[in-house]
Amino acid sequence: MQESQDLNFIAILMFSIFVLITLFITYWAANQTKTAKGFYTAGGNITGLQNGLAISGDFMSAASFLGISGLVYLSGFDGLIYSIGFLVGWPIILLLIAEPLRNLGKYTFADVASFRLQQTPIRTLAALGSLFTVILYLIAQMVGAGKLIEILFGLPYYVAVIIVGGLMILYVTLGGMLATTWVQIIKAILLLSGASLIAFLVLINFNFNFDSFFSAAVNFHDNGNAILAPGGLISDPVSAISLGLALMFGTAGLPHILMRFFTVKDAVEARKSVVYATGFIGYFYLLTFIIGFGAIILVSSNPEYLNADGTLVGNNNMAAIHLAHAVGGDLLLGFISAVAFATILAVVSGLTLAGASAISHDLYANVFSKSVNEKKEMMISKVATVALGIIAIFLGIIFEKQNVAFMVGLAFAIAASTNFPILLLSIYWKKLTTRGAVIGGGAGLMLAVLLVILGPVVWVDILKNSEAIFPYKYPALFSMAVTFILIWFFSVTDKSKTAKDEHKKFDSQYFRAQTGIGIEEGSHH
Amino acid sequence: MIIDNKIFNELKRVRQEITTRLLIITVFAYFSFISVIAFKPDLFGQPFLETNFSIGIILGFLLILLIFIVTLIYVYQANKKLEPLIKQIQTSYKK
């Protein structure tokens, strides 16, 4: 008992230092954030390196740090399937999306999708796609956060959820994108150094000889050599392709990620941000793999970390946390616990800011009011942030006992089936019309949700029906196909006058997308 | 008009060339990897040469490296080949 008290103390102390520093930054950022531009994009003056770090801070969630290293600990190779999937979306963003997005947009990706199409329907659809993605993601983060903090800090679940929600509301309403960016940068540096340190302390036991490291892991794991091969994660070809599609194209449709590209000066910096982000994220996934294998060797052999039945104390996501203790004692454990908490905060802040922007910039300023009143728009954005924060806390508490892992998968499926297709085609396909985008994107959104509800995860595991109506876990293959086919069909058959106008505007839009002439400039201080 | 702009057409052509090549490499490499997992998972379990690594783990690590290299190549080529053209168009519009 004595030991766990000390451990809580170190973790809480380190986390408090993090919170103090970030609140101080928020206070500083609040003074810089007087305009809507400052609020949504940090003034557009973030550098490529800073943005690359912030993107990785946005993207490397506690779920992927603890979840993937936990998956590697359990079944080895399968963890790599997720890592690669999460990484492979980045070249897609870089090659197809990043530069036109920066050149055409102002605050949200809906700016780009509605550049030459009709504002009201396209912004409404894009905002719906964003809000679905953001809220599903938020629930998954909140539930994960509550459980994690319950175990690490000994706080009750609901207290943990309220602390996360409350701090996030503070960061975002007061400091806007500038504070959110710096929270993400600090968190990314902490997470990368923490994970590097664990991996270093593991590998030093093997004199950095990977061959003997892997052979030790095989010897320690009950499944032996099987951990070096694909296991049960993907059981049939359709699921494999479907998951592959969702991961590859979903990343390019995540609103909180897309929003980060408006924080840099121009397309050159946007490009740079992706290279830095891909480097950091790729390196991080290599570390989670070493950490997972390290846990097989050092955690699974130590009764201190195991329940009587051989499972990990806490749950399987605790592999990295126990490993930190095994190689670095209470001090490293406290540090990694604090980093995990900081990680959750940074991710939910980015998500909430993206959700609030969809409400204030897309729905309020461009659909409901249509008049540009910056003060009012910013106020709506802050109100939306508080509302989303409260919704996140509320849903986090409701879903405490549910399995929420499928929600991130569904968020990716929606992003790949709605946000990504309308964004991609609005940039590159001249014949896209409002009618096509709304019907196709809307159908993709509904189908992705429906197929997940009727699929094995919700219909069988959660609703306790005996057999799934839709047999596959991952809907993206079907929902994406439906989106693209319907967009194509309802665009090419659209002979209306507005459709003709939309075709006409394509060339000048394409010109701006490629050259950045007419781009929204960063503000000068 | 914009459409007749020679440099802009050149920009479009070069960009398409760079992008298409790298996209094909990325999509092909990734879906080959996924397809082996879907259709022939045992192949990835084979040991790699005389080591304790499996073929799947080696290829997985190489794929992570490849993804990063693709982004490096793109930025290198974009800065070298696309930026001069974009700059040229931008200056001609400022006049």
Q: How do residues A338-357 score in pLDDT, each as one tens digit?
A: 898 889 999 999 999 999 99
Summarised one tens digit per residue, pLDDT across range A408-418 is 889 999 999 99
In a domain, residue A219? The reply is yes
Q: With cut-offs at 50, 70 and 90, classify the pLDDT of residue A391.
A: very high
| Backbone φ, ψ for residue B5 (5° rounding) | -60, 115
More confident residue, A176 or A6: A176
b (16+ CB within 10 A) / e for A454-480: bbbbbbeeeeeeeebebebbbbbbbbb
CATH of the domain at A183: 1.20.1730.10
- The mean pLDDT value of chain B amounts to 89
For residue B83, list chain A residues with Cβ-Cβ distance below 8 A. 268
The answer, yes or no, to whether residue B17 has pLDDT greater than 60, is yes
Q: Hey, is the C-beta of A521 within 8 angstroms of any chain B C-beta? A: no
pLDDT, residue A112, reads: 94
pLDDT, residue A33, reads: 82
The number of C-alpha atoms within 13 Å of A122 and in the hemisphere containing its C-beta is 25
- Reported ipTM: 0.93
Summarised one tens digit per residue, pLDDT across range A170-198 is 999 999 999 999 999 999 999 999 999 99
In a domain, residue A426? The reply is no
A59, A77, A210, A472: best to mutate for the B interface, most B CBs within 10 A? A77
Of A218, A243, A275, the CB nearest to B75: A275
Reading the block at residue A348, the tokens are 């939910």
Of A77, A286, A514, the CB nearest to B12: A514
Find, among B26, B45, B44, the residue nearest to B36 by Cα: B44
Summarised one tens digit per residue, pLDDT across range A51-98 is 999 999 999 988 788 889 999 998 889 889 889 999 999 999 999 999
Find, among A16, A7, A3, the residue nearest to A334 by Cα: A7
- Rounded to 5°, the CA angle A226-A231-A232 comes to 145
d(CA B26, CA B83) in angstroms, rounded, equals: 23
d(CA A424, CA A96) in angstroms, rounded, equals: 8
Q: With cut-offs at 50, 70 and 90, classify the pLDDT of residue B4.
A: low
More confident residue, A438 or A373: A438
Q: With cut-offs at 50, 70 and 90, classify the pLDDT of residue A4.
A: very low
Other beta carbons within 10 angstroms of residue A500's beta carbon come to 11
The answer, yes or no, to whether residue A2 has pLDDT greater than 50, is no
For residue A83, list chain B residues with Cβ-Cβ distance below 8 A. 60, 64
The answer, yes or no, to whether residue A115 has pLDDT greater than 50, is yes
d(CA A127, CA A358) in angstroms, rounded, equals: 5
The number of C-alpha atoms within 13 Å of A330 and in the hemisphere containing its C-beta is 13
Cβ of B2 within 8 Å of Cβ of A507? The answer is yes
In order of A33, A40, A41, A362, the CA distances from A523 in angstroms are: 11, 12, 10, 21
Cβ of B30 within 8 Å of Cβ of A244? The answer is yes
Summarised one tens digit per residue, pLDDT across range A422-459 is 999 999 999 999 999 999 999 999 999 999 999 988 89
In a domain, residue A139? The reply is yes
In a domain, residue A418? The reply is no
In a domain, residue A447? The reply is no
The answer, yes or no, to whether residue B91 has pLDDT greater than 90, is no
| Backbone φ, ψ for residue A471 (5° rounding) | -75, -15
Summarised one tens digit per residue, pLDDT across range B35-70 is 998 888 888 888 888 888 899 999 999 999 999 999
In a domain, residue A334? The reply is yes
Are A354 and A134 contacting, i.e. CB atoms less than 8 angstroms apart? yes
Find, among A102, A523, A166, A520, the residue nearest to A352 by Cα: A166
In SS3 terms, A240-306 reads as HHHHHHHHHHHHHHCHHHHHHHHHECCHHHHHHHHHHHHHHHHHHHHHHHHHHHHHHHHCCCCHHHE
- The mean pLDDT value of chain A amounts to 90
Are A433 and A106 contacting, i.e. CB atoms less than 8 angstroms apart? no
Most confident of A140-144, A236-240, A358-362: A358-362
Q: With cut-offs at 50, 70 and 90, classify the pLDDT of residue B1.
A: very low
- To the nearest whole angstrom, how far is the Cα of B17 from the nearest Cα of chain A? 11
- The residues spanned by each domain of chain B are 9-86
Q: Hey, is the C-beta of A49 within 8 angstroms of any chain B C-beta? A: no
| Strand ranges (E), A12-142 | none
Domain ranges, residue A143: 2-405
Rounded to an integer, the average pLDDT of A105-132 is: 94
Structural domain count, chain A: 1
Q: With cut-offs at 50, 70 and 90, classify the pLDDT of residue A7.
A: low
In a domain, residue A505? The reply is no
Chain A residue closest in CA terms to B66: A88
Residue identified by tokens 């051989």 is A310
pLDDT, residue A502, reads: 92
Summarised one tens digit per residue, pLDDT across range A274-307 is 999 999 999 999 999 999 999 999 998 888 898 8
The answer, yes or no, to whether residue A494 has pLDDT greater than 50, is yes
Q: Hey, is the C-beta of A488 within 8 angstroms of any chain B C-beta? A: no
